[in-house]
Amino acid sequence: MPCSATSASLEREGFSRARTLDVRRLGVLPYAEALELQRALVDDRRAGRIGDTLLLLEHPHVITLGVRGGRSHVLASAEALAARGVEVQETGRGGDVTYHGPGQIVGYPILDLNPDRRDVHQYVRDLEEVLIRTAADFGIAAGRVSGLTGVWAGDEKLAAIGVRIARWITSHGFALNVTTDLDYFSLIVPCGIADRGVTSMSRLLGRPVELDKVQQSIVNQFSNVFQFSHLEN
């Protein structure tokens, strides 16, 4: 069953109980700390100590390497990266190389897809849908590109998605460029795709965008797409 199943279809399958989402807004968090936090929360979710959770945060400047990527798609030297205060971190997520930094909203859903949402393809498509709807809330027409993961405005990537699913517990997630300094993407081949650019909400709109308002839109649309009633800490 797709993870965006309606409550009516859930009831037909016997899963009519209300679903809640714990949303945690963490501000700026170093990547290594966020990785350790995710690992702990995945264990907690699998053991039933917590419910479904969405982490929303920003990272200091960091380049992350997915399981499909390698350092061959990092264009800058170690010295150049150090001079700009950019770390490089290996991850356990899917996808290739990407950049995280200030002005970018990163979302890490820690969800149990058992028993009714065990569809990896649909899970990724639903994450895309959340971000497409979020962009639309601000008047941005974004969408998908056939054969590619993520959210796009024309030929430019607005949001990257790279997930990990272990025994149907999710981690990692998405990164939406809001007021991101796009020059940092010149340090890499974003997602290993050399012939497409990147963009941000503020660039598309030609004005600053408040991150708090975008975070709230993400929470609303995440709740809508995944059929949660959200609860914030």
Write down the mean pLDDT value for the chain. 89
Q: What is the pLDDT of residue 192?
A: 61
Tell me if residue 139 falls in helix, strand or coil: coil
Closest to 222 (Cα-Cα) out of 109, 140, 138, 142: 109
Separation of alpha carbons 169 and 157, rounded Å: 27
pLDDT tops 60 at residue 97:
yes
pLDDT at 73: 86
Dist. CA 181–CA 212, nearest whole Å: 18
The helix (run of H) or strand (run of E) holding residue 26 is strand 20-28
- pLDDT over 70, % of the chain: 88
Residue written as token pair 């699913």: 165
Question: Is residue 91 predicted with pLDDT exceeding 90?
Answer: no
Closest CA to 107 of 193, 34, 47, 191: 34
- pLDDT-based confidence at residue 102 (cuts at 50, 70, 90): very high
pTM, two decimal places:
0.89
Q: Does the pLDDT value for residue 3 go beyond 50?
A: no
The answer to whether residues 123 and 163 touch, using CB atoms and an 8 Å cutoff, is yes
The 3-state DSSP composition of the chain as helix, strand, coil percent (nearest 5) reads: 35, 30, 35
CB 152 within 8 A of CB 144: yes
Of 42, 16, 43, 51, nearest in space to 163 by CA: 42
Catalytic residues: 191
The residue written with tokens 């990692």 in the block is 172
What pLDDT, on the 0 to 100 scale, is given for residue 218?
Answer: 98
Which domains, from first to last, does the chain contain?
19-114+121-228 (3.30.930.10)
Mean of the pLDDT values across residues 81-88?
95
Check pLDDT > 80 for residue 230: no
pLDDT score of 96: 82
Cβ atoms of 226 and 175 closer than 8 Å: no
- H or E segment at 224? helix 211-226
Contact between 23 and 233 (Cβ < 8 Å) = yes
For residue 100, pLDDT beyond 70? yes
Please calculate the CA angle 41-43-47 and round it to the nearest 5 degrees.
115
Q: How far is CA 68 from CA 94, 175, 190, in A?
A: 7, 17, 13
Name the phi and psi angles at 27, rounded to 5.
70, -140
Q: Which of 71, 63, 146, 151 is nearest to 100 (CA)?
A: 63
pLDDT tens digits for range 13-54: 334 356 899 999 999 999 999 999 999 999 999 999 999 999
Summarize pLDDT for 218-228 with one digit per residue, the tens: 999 999 999 99
110-158 pLDDT, tens per residue? 999 999 999 999 999 999 999 999 999 999 999 999 999 999 999 999 9
